[in-house]
Amino acid sequence: MPPSEDSSGALAGIRVLDFGQYIAGPLAAMMLADEGAEVIHIDPPGGPRWRNAANAVLQRGKQSFVLDLKQRADRDAARRLADSADVLIENFRPGVMARLGLGAGQLTAANPRLIYCALPGFPADDHRGGQPGWAGVVSAASGLCTPSPRPGESPTPALPPMPVASNYAAFLAVNAVMAALLARRNSGMGQRIEIPLLGAAFEAFCLEAQRAPMASHNAFHAAADNRFQTADGKFVQLLLIAPRHLESFIKTFLPALAELGDAARLIADSDAGAALVRAMSALFLTRPAAEWDVMVNEAAIPLAVCQSKAAFLRDDAQARESGAVIALEDTELGPTFQLGFPVRLSRTPPRARPRKYMGDTEPTFAGAQHAETAGRAAAPDQPPLAGVTVLDMSQILAGPTAGRILAQFGAEVIKINKPGNWIIGHLHFNSGKQSVLLDIGRPEGRRVLSAMLAGADVFLHNLPPESAEKLHVTEAEIRAEKPDIIYASMSAYTNCGRRGKYRGWEPVGQAITGMQTSGGQTPRLARFPLCDFGAGHLLAFAILLALWHRAQTGEGQYAESSLMQAGAYHQAASMIYPVRAAGDAAQGRSGLYETADGFIYVHLPADAGERLAAVPALDPADLQTVFRLATSQSWCKRLAEAGIAAQPMSTIDEAMEDERTLALGWSRKLRYAEGGEVRMVGAIPRMSLSRLPNLPVASPPGRDTRKILGRYCSDARLEELFFGGIVADALDAGTSVVW
């Protein structure tokens, strides 16, 4: 990454009005504030609804004002603020802002350039729209409580330990807001965005929700993904999913077991897998975790120490150097180490400022100072990224997720794979892309890439630095060919510091940030691949910021995110050190309860005693026994009548097959090119003006090679490339694909 230039941020000149409370809305607004936006946060009388140390993170970079929206004068003040804003974010229940005269239609009529982003718990047209979108309610309704399919794990439903739906709602929101800002450059018009937390949850289980008719290679053997205790009592997370990593680990550290370095054998022979795991367990007990961290990673095999959240915040040099953790003097808490930045940008680096409370004095601002210059005239309903071309060389899940998001906003994304290479997650993560099989490791293939770069806006990869050098696709080499390109990189720990060259898979992001450790227990993986998918969303955010900056200045820049940053951002609400009192976060007896026909989530904060006692046939002293005596729907009805939020638990399959989910397009059933029906998670954001394309399911790898490369090569030259094995239009029969 080139040296940073002095910058006030990519979003300098953009004004954001933040009505959000709790996590989703405030987190999205904070992410925009760190990128240079001026954010005005509105609190009700008495201050934030969530009194928690988390506000040192969630409200940083904002000026907070108190407005009582029940009073006409304060509603008028809110309207004046909206008249000067570029973006408004709110996470009230549907219809609340409209009843106050502050709905999207009312405010955009007065300020047509306003981008109004609503983050309700449930969609406006859902019968549950009036229900508060508590994390547990949304988790139960969406499928997030579905038991893990991993062998040996509990078959009992469980609530996610993190606010998964709120986190993804924030990630979706900042990406949709950036897309809407780019669309506004062309049309001059703002629009309404709706991202319900219920739909955002689908981003967490998109791979598990997929159903496809084709056979899928099994990449996971007994030694693929394990945590091992070391000589000093700590644990390390080792990843041997890739066959080359398994072979290299056995050859380097357990040469006497060379015959077990074959992934196919371990998958077929459970006894061999168990024997290898026993040998590895004994091996790791011979050295402390810090030594294994260096030895294994220097052998180019992914491993991470399973450390606590406090250690990540307080002691981790990589976190500090990369900006994933920052030191900030908070206005209330004093010196803190806290959640840093989700992305790294070379020309417009993010910057954090402490929160600032302004009381109830109405701020006075001039009209909105719009940063963008006038763009070309364009139809307002075209996709926001129409005309943007992305060359996506990333592999596995995280990088391809970023490319998928850019395709969802209308970019042309050309997915480049090496012929014969292993592919994971192809159907969903490469949906909407055009697939090319091209070997850029050979000079003829690299020359083809050079031709493709001439028309590209974004170059995206997740190669470690030495691999980028070997393939001649470092930033300096790519920028020499296309000076204004956005050079986007996905990594495990960011490409700086001691770990900058280390490899990574999902679990390393969890291990290093404390996601796996809780209460001194043996480290355990989080239920879903939150780091992979989260990092993809964050890298898309970085690319969109870079595109926005280029639209103002003509300058390209380096854009990066990492598994480590995603792991930290999924824990945003608790990423602060020293650890502070939780304020009013007490949840009483909120949780999942078994009923006669399933499970329900019941929201029971500490002050719910009187309402609970008013529920017919319910003994507050023995909730679990009593709940088993009637059905989920029956209890939810009784609890709702007493003013208590409750929600029957859905599995992932039930959520995906729900008629409302299908009608919204969050669950899509498509025909695959080779025949058969595919079920996939669809686009979650709804944008009132920008037409988001319905992404087709990914075509078979290489299907678009001739069509795409025909733009850059003559027919004769293309045939030479096919003959030489430089390009291909289909995978070899023996190539492994995890669909």
Q: Of the residues 251, 284, 306, which one is the last residue of a structural domain?
A: 306
Report if residue 24 sits inside a domain.
yes
**Alpha helix segments (H runs only) across 100-163:** 104-110, 135-142
Report if residue 262 sits inside a domain.
yes
Domain that holds residue 235: 225-306
For position 427, what pLDDT does the model report? Answer: 84
Sign for the pseudo-dihedral over CA of 66, 96, 122, 133: positive
**SS3 per-residue string spanning 540-576:** HHHHHHHHHHHHHHCCCCEEEEEHHHHHHHCCHHHCE
Report if residue 148 sits inside a domain.
yes
644 and 666 together in one domain: no
Query: H or E stretch including 268?
Result: helix 263-268
69 and 185 together in one domain: yes
Q: Of the residues 281, 306, 331, which one is the last residue of a structural domain?
A: 306
638 and 674 together in one domain: no
CATH of residue 276? 3.30.1540
Residue 288: CB atoms within 10 A of its CB come to 15
| Residue 291 in tokens | 């030594």
Report if residue 322 sits inside a domain.
no
Instruction: Report CA 299 to chain centroid distance, whole Å.
Output: 29
Report if residue 401 sits inside a domain.
no
285 and 142 together in one domain: no
For position 4, what pLDDT does the model report? Answer: 45
615 and 686 together in one domain: no
110 and 257 together in one domain: no
Report if residue 622 sits inside a domain.
yes
Cis peptide before 700 (omega within 30 of 0): no
201 and 266 together in one domain: no
For position 368, what pLDDT does the model report? Answer: 46
164 and 274 together in one domain: no
Q: Of the residues 649, 684, 716, which one is the last residue of a structural domain?
A: 649
The number of CA neighbours under 13 Å toward the Cβ of 81 is: 28
> Which residues neighbour 70 within 8 Å (Cβ) at sequence distance 6 or greater?
none
Report if residue 166 sits inside a domain.
yes
What's the number of domains the chain is made of?
3
Between the CA of residue 506 and those of 3, 19, 250, 538, what are the distances in Å?
29, 33, 22, 15
84 and 171 together in one domain: yes
Report if residue 667 sits inside a domain.
yes
166 and 275 together in one domain: no
100 and 232 together in one domain: no
Give me the average pLDDT of each 10-residue run along the chain (739 residues): 60 97 97 97 92 95 95 96 97 95 97 98 87 92 92 86 96 98 95 97 94 74 93 96 93 94 88 95 98 97 96 96 97 96 98 90 56 50 93 95 97 94 83 96 97 98 96 98 98 95 94 82 89 98 98 97 98 90 62 96 89 88 92 94 94 96 94 84 95 86 95 95 94 67
109 and 160 together in one domain: yes
3-state secondary structure of 646: strand
